[in-house]
Amino acid sequence: MSVLAAGAGVDAGALALTHEPLPADEVLAGAPTTAVHELATIGAVEIGVWEMTPGTATDTEADEVFVVLSGRATISFASCGLPDLEIGPGSVVRLAEGMRTTWTVTETLRKVYVA
């Protein structure tokens, strides 16, 4: 895990990531994998890159804002009655701590997050 120094930069869209399978109890369809790369920590806030390959999986969210760099997905909200959210390049999304979600990724999704 490398962390950016002040004044440094990285191409978040081209960053090489190492994927791991998701826990079996979170996978609903397919065989999705995820990868995460922390870029920096400022105070108690973490900034990083996260990616998920196609498939469907459940998650309990952290408090975060993210911007989608590439890929497509639908986020369904089980715990709060919100409508499904279609996301793709340029989408900016806010998730709250504890939200129960289902991610259906149709095209490998890469995002930059602030949490």
CB 16 within 8 A of CB 10: no
The residue whose two tokens read 């095209």 is: 107
Three-state SS letters, 31-91: CCEEEEEEEEEECCEEEEEEEECCEEEEEECCCEEEEEEEEEEEEEECCCCCCCEEECCCC
pLDDT digits (tens, 9 = 90+) for 17-37: 999 999 999 999 999 999 999
Identify the segments of the chain with pLDDT beneath 50.
1
The reported pLDDT for the residue numbered 113 is 98
The reported pLDDT for the residue numbered 6 is 85
The reported pLDDT for the residue numbered 2 is 60
pTM over 0.85: yes
